[in-house]
Chains A and B, each alone.
Chain A
Amino acid sequence: MDVTYYPGCSLESSARDYDESTRAVCASLDIHLHELPDWTCCGATSAHSLDEELAVTLPALNLSGAERLGNHMVVPCPLCFNRLKRAQEEVKSSLRIYDLASFIGQAEWLEKIRSRLKFPLDAIRAVCYYGCMANRPPKVTGSVDYENPCDMDNICEALGVDVRPWSYKTDCCGASFSVSRKDIMYNLVKKLYDKALEAEAECIVVSCQMCQANLDLYQKDISIHFKGNYNIPIFYFTELIGLALGLKGTTTWLKRHMVDPIPFLEKKELLRQ
């Protein structure tokens, strides 16, 4: 299947692991990603905060590009996804836009994942964390189960992961404050850690590079700040697919994490490469 791929700015730098794993996973599932040529930034929170016009025109620029290509568009970054969907409403574009997790969460790919499963991840107890932007507000995202999205849960279950129910799938991690008001972000992320542990999860699976950044990059600082001792690996769901399907490069992606997941995976005897 051919789809247009809009990576978004972070996937070029802080979220390279997400980008690389996405490309590898899609390739292995016969999803052909065509990166949108000359894509530009979606404007993110800052545009709509300060300039409502830019908040539409920036993503709209990309929409018109994608429309020319004709294929459905897949967006790994939920923030970009959200901005693109909003712009779509304004400019009335008919493009089908998916966020990556709900794209891969479709029955077709789940089936493929199950059939190509090499190393089931039964030993992992995890919670899936979706963050705000892939689902909210449902009017914009078109999400049906917006309070309890299940795409990642379904994917992880297909991989064999012991997915824990928890109520905090779409709680905010304070993405937009990771720079300017760290204190806020720290509070929000700490709560997520605590609730994940309460649900007896050992790691958190995410589909958003902002979430990953907040939960992973700052985990040490947050531990220090709250005098805690968190050591919770934060995986992209694509990385877990890589792990379970035995895709090349998985370890490389995982090595980019700040909270080193390698010892955790070793303990679970899940590092096969």
Chain B
Amino acid sequence: MQVNNDIIGIESGFARQVALDSGVDLFACYQCEKCTNGCPVTFAMDYEPHQIIRMVQLGLREEIARASTIWVCASCETCFTRCPQGVDIPKLMDYLKQLVLSQGDKPAEGAVAAFHQVFLENIRRFGRVNEAFLMGAYQLKSAKAEKRIDVKEMISNLKLGIEMLKRGRLGFIPKKTGAKEAVRKLFEK
């Protein structure tokens, strides 16, 4: 164990703040690991779900802000469904994502963040999501976020797009919804 990795002091105020703002009952957690044992994506996480809770409890705010876990969580709700203490981890993950963005920190998973942002933008513009537009905008945004273009990925997406188009599974013109304006208003708040 690295010495500089030691945790010196704890900051319990952070946990109280998070619990209050997110409405997640994270103090109820007794670290049983059931969430982690059922989580389908731990293989892609840098911290496991129960570790995130413990990190919040100990007030490790910087490390949480740098964690990819909060972005990699698939919101599959497995952990919340089974947690004996009813800790709503996906909700906590969402809260932490928003906390990171609102603090202006760089998300650990740029691509994921980019996707969500493009997706919302898409809704804002059309009221509904158009998958073809979405893909295009996402390619650009993620390239910007990651500061590189994944050419292979782009080609493979393009190929798939064409195949889908052939089978009538991709439309270029978004269908119109009459509620576009109402949606736009929601975004303005």
Contacts and interface: CB of A to CB of B under 8 A. Distances in A.
The short answer to whether A and B are in direct contact, CB under 8 Å, is yes
B115 A174 contact: no
Given A43-B123, A133-B77, 4 more contacts: A41-B127, A54-B187, A181-B44, A181-B72
B179 interface: yes
B169 A256 contact: yes
Nearest to A79: B75
B154 interface: no
Given A16-B168, A50-B101, A171-B40, A180 B75 contact: no
B182 A61 contact: yes
B163 interface: yes
Shortest Cβ-Cβ A-B pairs, 8 listed: A172-B76, A38-B178, A46-B119, A46-B116, A136-B77, A180-B115, A9-B129, A38-B179
A254 B117 CA distance: 33
Contacts of B112: 177, 180-181
B111 A50 contact: no
A44 B119 contact: yes
Interface in A220-273: 221, 255-258
Most buried by B among A50, A53, A171: A50
A150 interface: no
Contacts, number: 162
Contacts of B164: 14, 217, 258
Given A136-B76, A176-B75, A12 B177 contact: no
Nearest to B77: A136
A54 B74 contact: no
Contacts of B40: 171-172, 174, 188
Given A40-B177, A136-B81, A184 B119 contact: no
A172 B116 contact: no
Interface in A19-71: 37-41, 43-54, 57-58, 61, 65
Contact of A54 (B81, B101, B186): B186
B127 A40 contact: yes
Instruction: Name the residue among B78, B81, B142, B183 with the largest chain A CB count within 10 angstroms.
Output: B81
Interface residues of B, number: 58
A92 to B, nearest CB: 17
A40 B182 contact: yes
Given A49-B97, A54-B186, A14 B131 contact: yes
Interface string B35-50: 0000011011000000
Contact of A258 (B111, B113, B119, B163): B163
A10 interface: yes
Nearest to A174: B74
Residue in A133, A174, A218 with the greatest tally of chain B CB atoms within 10 Å: A174
Contacts of B5: none
A175 interface: yes
A93 interface: no
A21 B101 CA distance: 41
27 contacts: A9-B128, A9-B131, A12-B128, A13-B131, A13-B169, A13-B170, A38-B178, A38-B179, A39-B128, A41-B123, A41-B129, A45-B119, A47-B120, A49-B97, A50-B116, A50-B120, A132-B78, A175-B74, A179-B138, A180-B114, A181-B109, A184-B41, A184-B44, A184-B74, A187-B43, A188-B41, A258-B167
